[in-house]
Amino acid sequence: MNTVGHLINGEVVLESKRTQDVFNPATGQVARQVALASSQTVEHAIATAEAAFPAWRDTPPIKRARIMFRFKELLEQNADAICKLIGEEHGKISHDAAGELQRGIENVEYACGIAELLKGEHSKNVGPNIDAWSEFQPLGVVAGITPFNFPVMVPLWMIPVAIAAGNCFILKPSERDPSSTLFIAQLLQEAGLPKGVLNVVNGDKEAVDILLRDTRIQAVSFVGSTPVAEYIYATATATAHGKRCQALGGAKNHAIVMPDADIDNAVNQLLGAAFGSSGERCMALSVAVAVGDAAADALIGKMKEAMKNLKVGAYTDSKNDFGPVITRQHQQKVVGYINSAEQQGATVVVDGREPNVAGYEEGFFVGGTLIDRVTPDMQSYKEEIFGPVLQVVRVNSMQEAMALIDKHEYGNGTCIFTRDGEAARYFSDNIKVGMVGINVPLPVPVAYHSFGGWKRSLFGDLHAYGPDGVRFYTRRKTVTQRWPSSGVREGVEFSMPTMK
């Protein structure tokens, strides 16, 4: 059985005694192994990246951008192979994997404009014959730690902007589906990236802890669950470790369904946003908050009908709507949340606990599940389920719906379905959530904006990718300059210099 290795100094190496199984979640069988980096492997990657940094930092941004152009072409040319690897280890259906890849490519396209993005700020004559400017310099060696649910897109939120800005990068991908990530890293080498600028270390907490503590690493970007995000942020930014950090965490995304909403449209949108990718998206809409019993009853009725057509199955059939969840353990966890909602008094309207996927009886499947009359005290409401489960909470007013959303510990994404522009404007203006959709169920910002939640969905000051990504991966330096040849000779001055 083959083992997924690490990419260090442009070469794939194994170098690891410890390995872990990688499953095909549709069959439930072990697909391959992944090497788990030891401290020596991580040290090797850090030293390699440090050695590559001076030449890469001094490479003109337009040349770095040309590598990004070639990388984009290679990602497009290899789309089928990438989607197949995502399908084999994550279980995502090919149309969904293609969407993930496309969203990743858009971040590469954004990084192609790095020469423009790095332009600084200039002021002439801030004093007599004195000019000042600010420039944005790369940080040095930076690291990224990514989750299983977007093995291609989330690494592409980080790597293109970071390296186009002149940094060297060490990526620690998810150990559950590492192959597509390693493959795109190899494509970046093929695009002409100098060896050592990007290194991939596969592994677990042992590798992560070294990246968090080693003072040669200047910044850490993390995307994953909230408990791990908190640990990452606290450790990386501790005074002794001295890093810049952005740590994106979990979510519980609510959609308000107003009494005036186009219910057929809301149902279509909710189907994709709740069940697409088996609900394993940090922007999945997992709670519908129906305002008034009429809206709730209409929503439940139409949803129940529409869910009869949901197709759950293996990634190999592109007609399927969504695939399995990532592991057997996670499947049991999702089923546990459905059980707990039922035990605490909610009504399971459509039950996906025992899906029948012919030919894939050992796969980690959960069918689309709809639960009505969920209340905020239920465990299934408070916690992130990360499965194909849509819960409906009934409220009496928009204010009640907004108070519910604001009170939740997570604040990643939210959406309102309405025909009322005034209500929509009030909602987007006041809701305490980082990414808002108005009749748009998955408001994932495009690559030239930035991605980030509020509250316990993001730790750090800056959002991911886009303009905030450029700021995160660069350090401002401000230079004030005067040349003696301008003839100015001032006397000794002990007071703070000002323009008199």
Round to whole Å and give the CA distance between 487 and 421: 63
Residue of 22, 85, 171, 223 interacting with ligand NAD (CB under 6 A): 223
Alpha helix ranges (H) inside 122-250: 153-164, 179-190, 205-213, 226-237
On the CB side of 279, CA atoms within 13 Å amount to: 30
Round to whole Å and give the CA distance between 415 and 428: 9
Location of structure tokens 């998955």: 442
Query: Can residue 183 be called a binding residue for ligand NAD (CB under 6 A)?
Result: no
Q: CB 89 → ligand NAD: shortest distance, Å?
A: 12
Q: CB 183 → ligand NAD: shortest distance, Å?
A: 17
Round to whole Å and give the CA distance between 98 and 101: 5
Stretch that binds ligand NAD, among 106-114, 243-251, 361-369, 471-479 (CB under 6 A): 243-251
Q: CB 160 → ligand NAD: shortest distance, Å?
A: 17
Taken in order 421, 424, 428, 430, is the CA torsion positive or negative?
positive
* Residues facing 11 on adjacent strands: 8
Give the residue among 348, 394, 389 at the shortest CA–CA distance from 375: 394
Query: Can residue 225 be called a binding residue for ligand NAD (CB under 6 A)?
Result: yes
Environment class of 170 (CB within 10 Å of its CB; exposed 0-12, middle 13-18, buried 19+):
buried
Round to whole Å and give the CA distance between 98 and 243: 34
User: Pattern of binders to ligand NAD over 90-129, x per CB under 6 A?
Assistant: ----------------------------------------
Query: Can residue 185 be called a binding residue for ligand NAD (CB under 6 A)?
Result: no
Residue type, 167: N
Query: Can residue 218 be called a binding residue for ligand NAD (CB under 6 A)?
Result: no
Q: Considering beta carbons, is residue 154 or 346 the nearer one to ligand NAD?
A: 154
Give, in order, the Cα–Cα distances in Å from 130 to each of 120, 489, 491, 497. Answer: 17, 13, 16, 12
User: Pattern of binders to ligand NAD over 456-485, x per CB under 6 A?
Assistant: -x----------------------------
Q: CB 150 → ligand NAD: shortest distance, Å?
A: 6
Query: Can residue 237 be called a binding residue for ligand NAD (CB under 6 A)?
Result: no
Round to whole Å and give the CA distance between 323 and 364: 9
Q: CB 42 → ligand NAD: shortest distance, Å?
A: 13
Q: Do strands 389-395 and 285-291 pair parallel, antiparallel, or not at all (unpaired)?
A: parallel
* Residues facing 136 on adjacent strands: 476
Q: Considering beta carbons, is residue 114 or 229 the nearer one to ligand NAD?
A: 229
Supply angle C-alpha 206, 211, 216, rounded to 5: 145
289-348: contacts with ligand NAD (CB under 6 A):
none
The yes-or-no answer on residue 245 being catalytic is no
Query: Can residue 251 be called a binding residue for ligand NAD (CB under 6 A)?
Result: yes
Query: Can residue 177 be called a binding residue for ligand NAD (CB under 6 A)?
Result: no
Query: Can residue 151 be called a binding residue for ligand NAD (CB under 6 A)?
Result: no
Among 83, 112, 168, 282, the one annotated catalytic: 282
DSSP label at 283? T
Stretch that binds ligand NAD, among 11-19, 106-114, 171-179, 342-350 (CB under 6 A): 171-179
Q: Which two tokens stand for residue 385?
A: 């389920």
Query: Can residue 384 be called a binding residue for ligand NAD (CB under 6 A)?
Result: yes
Q: Report the catalytic residues.
A: 282
Residues binding ligand NAD (CB under 6 A):
145-150, 154, 172, 174-175, 204-205, 208, 223-225, 228, 231, 248-251, 282, 384, 386, 412, 453, 457
